[in-house]
């Protein structure tokens, strides 16, 4: 598996305009094991990456702060190969890797080739700086497609968010 990325601030000499770009990939069967107890998972969740294995992902994120407003945008593209019923093409790290479809010639995206697009945008207003209390409005578009079908999702979110400071000094 590989993770490459870079992040920075003050893009185009604009104060408080931050960015992050990232590429992630994992070959089929990367985090699997013959015994599901000794794979790279915990509580039935992959530890290394939410996609498990057999994927390529590109991620871009930008945020900008102006006075008490925060603006954030995120774009994700991922291509991965799903494991159709009764098969093991390497996506599900909880399947025994000895049940793989082929010993040689495995490649990223094998199986049911799936494309995933995600666009996420948020705007927040800081109500109380002491507790980082924010009023937040966001929108998310998600499109997943493969030969078995399409799944499109749109969400509008609204919330009150807070994060308390860590005041512990015992480290």
User: Which pTM does this prediction carry?
Assistant: 0.84
Predicted local distance difference test score (pLDDT) of residue 170: 60
Percent of the chain with pLDDT over 70: 95
Tens digit of each residue's pLDDT (9 = 90 or more) over 100-138: 888 888 889 899 999 999 999 999 999 998 888 999 999
Among 125, 14, 127, 132, CA closest to 71 = 125
Contacts of range 94-102, beta carbons closer than 8 Å, 24 or more positions apart:
94/32, 94/36, 94/39, 94/41, 94/44, 95/32, 95/36, 96/32, 96/33, 96/34, 96/35, 96/36, 97/29, 97/32, 97/33, 97/34, 98/34, 100/28, 100/29
Residues 135-157: what's their mean pLDDT?
Answer: 96
- Residues paired with 63 in a beta bridge: 18, 72
Predicted local distance difference test score (pLDDT) of residue 96: 81
Residue 1 has pLDDT above 70, yes or no: yes
């Amino acid at each position: 598996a590989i993770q490459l990325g870079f992040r920075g601030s003050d893009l185009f000499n604009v104060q408080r305009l931050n960015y992050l770009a990232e590429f992630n990939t994992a070959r089929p069967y990367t985090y699997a094991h013959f015994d599901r107890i000794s794979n790279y998972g915990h509580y039935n969740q992959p530890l290394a990456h939410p996609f498990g294995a057999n994927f390529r992902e590109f991620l871009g994120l930008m945020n900008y702060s102006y006075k008490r407003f925060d603006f954030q945008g995120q774009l994700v593209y991922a291509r991965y190969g799903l494991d159709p019923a009764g098969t093991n093409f390497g996506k599900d790290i909880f399947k025994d890797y000895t049940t793989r479809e082929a010993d040689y010639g495995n490649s990223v995206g094998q199986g049911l080739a799936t494309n995933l697009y995600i666009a996420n945008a948020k705007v927040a207003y800081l109500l109380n700086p002491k507790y980082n209390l924010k009023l937040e409005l966001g929108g998310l578009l998600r499109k997943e497609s493969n030969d078995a079908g399409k799944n499109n999702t749109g969400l509008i979110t609204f919330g009150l968010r807070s994060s308390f400071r860590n005041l512990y000094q015992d480290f």
